[in-house]
Structures are given as C-alpha cells and as structure tokens.
Amino acid sequence: MGMQARYDGVAVCAPITVPYVRFSPESAHWWTGAALRALGQKTGLNAGDIDGFCFASFSSAPDTVVGMVQHLGLSPRWMDHIPTGGASGIMALRRAARAVQCGDAEVVACVAADTNQIDSYRQTLAGFSRFSQDATYPYGFGGPNATFALITDNFMRQFGTTRETFGKLCVAQRENALSNPLALMKKPLTIEHYMNARPISDPVHLFDCVMPCAGAEAFLVTTPDKAEQLGLSTARILSTIERHNAFADDTVQFRGGWERDQEALWDRAGCGPGDVQCVQVYDDYPVIVAMQLADLGFCSKPGLNDFIAANEFTISGSLPLNTNGGQLSAGQAGAAGGFQNVTEGLRQILQCPLGEQVSDAHRALVSGFGLVNYDRGTCTGAAVLQREALR
C-alpha cells in the first residue's frame, strides 16, 4: 500500500452547529435546511453556489441525499450519502476533499442532521440493521447500551481498565461542556456522581451513556482560493484513514480499524500523537474513547489507566479532549453526533470555539467510529487537521 496522496488544493472551513434540542417535532429535512441556512449566513453562499452535497442522517427515511437535494432546492454536480453515523464526519470529509481536489465539485456542503421525535429513538433502534433485528435487539432490547456494555465488560477484564479511568474522561468532558452554551448537559459532574450513578446495563452506568437529541452539524469543503474569496478561515487536511469491518474474528471488539491504519495516518501527517493540541474522538461510551486513544498511538491498552491518570483532558489540560463536551455532554444528535469531531476540531484550530479556546491550538486529531451493525462498531476513520489561514 503506497502512501496516501496529499490533500493539496483543499480547504476545510465554516463549522456549523444548529443548537440541539432533546425532542423535536420537526423532520430531518427541517434540520438539514436549518444547517444549510446557517452555512449560507456564515459564508454568503446560496443554493446556486453549492455544487457538491454530502449528507448523513438516520431519520430522513424514506429520503436519501437525492430526496434532500430536491427538498432543499440544491442542484449539485456531485453528491454522496453517508449512512455510517459516528464515522460519517470523517468519511464526508474524505470524500468531499477528493471531489474538490479533482475538480468534480468546487463548493461541497457536508451536512449531518437528525431529528428526535417522541418514540423515534425506539423505532430507529427496532429497524436499525438486519443483524440487529435478527440477532441483537430481540436479546433484551438494551439498544447500544447493551452492546457497548458487552464490549466494556470484556475490555475491563482484558486490559484492567477501571471505571475510575472511564469516569475521568466523562468528568473532563462535562467540564468542557460547561463552557459550551449549546451543550445539553449543563450540570457539573464529579467523579463521585459518575461512580454512584445508576447502572444501565452493567458495567455501563448512566454517565457512560449519551443523550439522544435532535440537531445538525455542517462544514464546507472547497478550494483555498474560493475560501479566501469568501473570507473564511481555513484548515488543511494533513492525513486521513478509514477502515470498515476490521478484525472481524475478534470475539468481542477490543480494537478498531485505527490500530491497523494509525501508522499510515501519522506517517502521512508527518507528526505524531504528541504533536496535536486537541483530540476530538467519537465518544458514545467512554470505552470507545479509551480504545481510540490506544489504537491511535497515545498509549498501550494495558497502559490506559496510567495514561489517563497522568493527563488532564479539560480544555486547559495536557490533552484537551472533546472540547465541546462531546456527545456525552453536548448531546448525540444521531448522525450529527458523527460530525461533532470535525466541526469542533475545526473550531479549535480556526479559533472560533463554542466554548473556551484551547490555547495555541493549530493542529487537531479527529476520529470517528460508527454503526453498530451487529455486535460492534464497524466503521472507523481519523484525520489530522491543521490551521492554514485565519480570516
């Protein structure tokens, strides 16, 4: 496998978050429109200027990207639909970047939007995937909580990772969320609260779980020239990886595709885990945060307890992590949850965070994990982003 081609001629800009709400009577179409409107207001672009559209959602059925294009009056010459939830941000970034680089499109709006109507969470789960219909949900119907409980149970036994270790990550993310006015979880969380929370599906407890909500996230991928013309701050992509259904023979998931590809990621980026100022990773359950830290090269898995004890993950800490609060504290708006890593990573390095700024942040690691099709997350991806121009 040769080294990945550079992302020259590609600019990533204009991170958008449409404020989340716990329940919404509106549709995914409404939320997508809200994201496009916010994107238009920020960039001055209108529908006719957007010639590429990349879309992710769980709740837009029966429509896919094409339905959304007509619904919202777009006429792109390139479009893509990314149905991979927590991995959709990275995947949208990769696809849009290559489309722009190769001239298939010039201005690509990447949007993830999901609504959360009363009872739509249960319905989404019930029809989520064929394997889950046949082989997971009829088994107690614990939803992702139960699946990740099995993964967490095995992980704790295999590597000795403790609940306190997971708790430290959750507590730090909550502290980060307190400075983010859009975060849904506004109550401070202490390690005592975390440890004493009620069990949901052992060993997963209340504060290990995200709050499903409605919301939308978006960003723009275009050329550096176009971004300059629009007066937008930009980031460049140093490197990306993506992998699906890795290590399918592992009895219980204890690693993701990152483990297989992280060397290529850092080689192409020309830096290492110590050279990023913030880390934005998929965080539906802290075990997955820990798994990513290890798989992306920050430490070994048996070393997670020590690594996490030795670092601070708050905005002012030694390794600022999920600085908007992540899905655990900002809320999980379906597929939009899978875009938070990209939008928040961008915000920090473009110096326009929702909450507090990580000092000197100019390079971010973002990582995605998505789609529990059966007993594990199938899709993984990561990217290293670096500030190019502040405007």
Interface ranges with another protein (CB under 8 A)? 121-122, 125-127, 130-131, 133-143, 145-147, 149-151, 153-154, 157, 198-204, 248, 251-252, 374-375
- Whether residue 291 contacts residue 155, with contact meaning beta carbons closer than 8 Å, is answered with yes
Tell me the closest approach of the beta carbon of residue 132 to another protein, in angstroms: 9
Q: Hey, what are 386's tokens?
A: 């670096």
Least distance from another protein to the Cβ atom of residue 356, Å: 33
CA distances from 93 to 84, 87, 367, 382 (A): 13, 10, 11, 10
26 versus 375: smaller Cβ distance to another protein? 375
Q: How far is the CB of 122 from another protein (least distance, A)?
A: 4
Q: What are phi and psi of 233, to 5 degrees?
A: -65, 145
Category of 285 on φ-ψ map: left (φ > 0), alpha (ψ -120 to 50) or beta: left
For residue 158, the minimal CB distance to another protein (Å) is 9
Q: Read off the tokens for 107.
A: 């201005």
Q: Which is nearer to another protein, 70 or 158 (CB)?
A: 158
Specify the residue, 155 or 298, whose C-beta has the smaller distance to another protein.
155
Task: Check if the beta carbon of residue 235 is closer than 8 Å to that of residue 387.
Answer: yes
| Nearest residue (CB) to another protein, 228 versus 375 | 375
Least distance in Å: CB of 131 to another protein?
Answer: 5
Closest separation in Å from C-beta 354 to another protein: 30
SS3 state of residue 73 = coil
DSSP string computed for 173-224: HHHHHHT-TT-S--S---HHHHHHSPEEETTEEGGGS--B-EEEEEEEEE-H
Closer CB to another protein, 150 or 171, in the complex: 150
DSSP 264-328: HHHHHHTS-GGG-SEEEE--SSHHHHHHHHHHTTSS-STTHHHHHHH---STTSSS-BSTT-HHH
210 or 218: CB nearest another protein: 210
Instruction: Give the nearer residue to another protein in terms of CB position, either 75 or 158.
Output: 158
What's the min distance (Å) between Cβ of 124 and another protein? 10
